[in-house]
Chain A
């Protein structure tokens, strides 16, 4: 088997991002007089070039590119999720300009790891073979373990990194064992090959267990209950820009890869996985929201809220098999659309915490940077930072699902679809869960608007303000005119079959 240059087009967007990341490290290492601007330009250029490549793929090429023996396929779903991941990466790059200088992080490696993780995620959502899925999953996980612990002097960050590494390695074991079982049952790593082998009617217990273990592996990575234990500690301990990055992009990439595995490898065996996902989605929504209720730290609350939002996205996958036993793969479109809305509102909320950071006097006269974390850090900010507080209010209302924001439409689309396919119970549980979530989202707004300020020395950074504004704009835009985005999500799933 030989490969042609044409096949490289399938990984061109990811390749551009990867090369920009490696060059950023190279710039930091080999060029003596470098500036932060050069890094930002390089990585931003990579992101924009990759977006342009994806755009040309979507508007001029139109047909999916199957490359490297169908291991990588750049179809509309890969493009859709890649664009969401790139948008998040771009926003994180802008906001980490503040973080790297404040926390004294080596920015070459920081930008490099973010870009490499993003490129691995883009290849993950385009992976059509368990071999590429696994390698990309590992590249992105490894980069994120390091990014979590990149503030080396901060013990919380170190602890989070170790926890993430250990639980992530555990998840990898599950995933790999599941892939081995599927290989044992079907004799192939290719998703389409697995589908053909399963369609032969061989009711394989190995394939059944293998699929279950692969799903457990994915559930760990996207933080679904009961495999969510690491999420609050890791999200809280990591530097906030890293938290923002991983909370949105890993979910998009992980759920995307899960959708591809379920729809391409095992669509006719939805009886095996639909129930499992149903319980997982319900548990994730309920546990995520109930735990978020009890938090006093806003950062930890947002971590649990991200668990809950994973549950909402899983509702779409769990209800793909309608109650009259027909299989409706189009349902996955609502998960894709939800991931898109989730990207901007969560990124915006975490960016606000970076924006409201302040300095703490540390040991030996130096000062240490501290992002806003508790409710008291945000108290009364509406008076002093009215625009940023209004934006934070917008993100929180969107997370809670209040119209006319993106979050409302995402949830509406999800739950309406579930009811249409006859799954009323899970839709009712979902709506109840988001009603509960309103309590803790509104509590932050109440603290911002009705309490007296408790800290006086917050030091907002203009670049983070840009991120907040852009994320707010996107949240409103998707909320006001969702048609194009929903159509794109539906088209992505339609071509997947």
Chain B
């Protein structure tokens, strides 16, 4: 049973990781908290503002493009596996697919979609 081995492995790894860190925390480390120590470390400079800042909207475009090209790659995998079996018709099919999306990439590039205005 493959799954049983995986389960035992996961159990051991978890116990080992937790055990090491908690042993260190409870028995080895001295614990003398001060107000300054509790703050988030920011290059040694006192904190200016909250760490939960809003991200720029420009990341959104990058995330969308990531998804689109990710989906594109998904379709490439079965073709790569079947490359020999599909032969020329398969090459033509994936060629058309990538020609259209290559046009899309060129479009993005030219229109500055890959730039950080």
Q: Within the complex, are A and B direct neighbours (CB within 8 Å)?
A: yes
A residues touching B (Cβ–Cβ < 8 Å)? Answer: 2-3, 22, 25-26, 29-30
Going nearest first, the 9 A-B pairs with the smallest beta carbon separation are: A29-B110, A29-B107, A29-B111, A2-B89, A30-B110, A25-B107, A22-B103, A26-B103, A26-B107
User: In whole angstroms, what is the CA distance A26 to B111 when docked?
Assistant: 11
User: In whole angstroms, what is the CA distance A2 to B87 when docked?
Assistant: 12
Q: Mark B92-117, 1 if CB is under 8 A from A, else 0.
A: 00000000100100110011000000
Q: Which residues of B contact A22 (CB under 8 A)?
A: 100, 103
User: In whole angstroms, what is the CA distance A22 to B89 when docked?
Assistant: 24
Closest to B107 in A: A29
Determine how close the nearest CB of chain B comes to the CB of A26; give it in whole angstroms: 7
B residues touching A (Cβ–Cβ < 8 Å)? Answer: 89, 100, 103, 106-107, 110-111
Q: Which residues of A contact B107 (CB under 8 A)?
A: 25-26, 29
Could you list 5 examples of A-B contacts with CB < 8 Å?
A2-B89, A26-B107, A29-B106, A29-B107, A29-B110
Determine how close the nearest CB of chain A comes to the CB of B93; give it in whole angstroms: 9
Determine how close the nearest CB of chain A comes to the CB of B25; give it in whole angstroms: 47
Most-contacted residue by chain A among B100, B107, B110 (CB, 10 A): B107
Q: Which residues of A contact B110 (CB under 8 A)?
A: 29-30
Determine how close the nearest CB of chain B comes to the CB of A422; give it in whole angstroms: 51
Q: Which residues of A contact B100 (CB under 8 A)?
A: 22
User: In whole angstroms, what is the CA distance A25 to B105 when docked?
Assistant: 12
Closest to B109 in A: A29
Closest to A22 in B: B103
User: In whole angstroms, what is the CA distance A29 to B107 when docked?
Assistant: 6
Closest to A30 in B: B110
User: In whole angstroms, what is the CA distance A414 to B103 when docked?
Assistant: 46
Given contacts A3-B89, A29-B110, 11 further A-B contacts (CB under 8 A): A2-B89, A22-B100, A22-B103, A25-B107, A26-B103, A26-B107, A29-B106, A29-B107, A29-B111, A30-B106, A30-B110
User: In whole angstroms, what is the CA distance A3 to B107 when docked?
Assistant: 30
Determine how close the nearest CB of chain A comes to the CB of B68; give it in whole angstroms: 12
User: In whole angstroms, what is the CA distance A2 to B92 when docked?
Assistant: 12
Closest to A26 in B: B103
Determine how close the nearest CB of chain A comes to the CB of B117; give it in whole angstroms: 15
Q: Which residues of B contact A29 (CB under 8 A)?
A: 106-107, 110-111
Q: Which residues of B contact A30 (CB under 8 A)?
A: 106, 110
User: In whole angstroms, what is the CA distance A335 to B81 when docked?
Assistant: 48
User: In whole angstroms, what is the CA distance A55 to B68 when docked?
Assistant: 37
User: In whole angstroms, what is the CA distance A470 to B106 when docked?
Assistant: 38
User: In whole angstroms, what is the CA distance A26 to B104 when docked?
Assistant: 9
User: In whole angstroms, what is the CA distance A22 to B102 when docked?
Assistant: 12
User: In whole angstroms, what is the CA distance A35 to B56 when docked?
Assistant: 34
Q: Which residues of B contact A3 (CB under 8 A)?
A: 89
Closest to A25 in B: B107
User: In whole angstroms, what is the CA distance A25 to B111 when docked?
Assistant: 11
User: In whole angstroms, what is the CA distance A26 to B89 when docked?
Assistant: 27
User: In whole angstroms, what is the CA distance A3 to B111 when docked?
Assistant: 36
User: In whole angstroms, what is the CA distance A416 to B111 when docked?
Assistant: 55
Q: Which residues of B contact A2 (CB under 8 A)?
A: 89
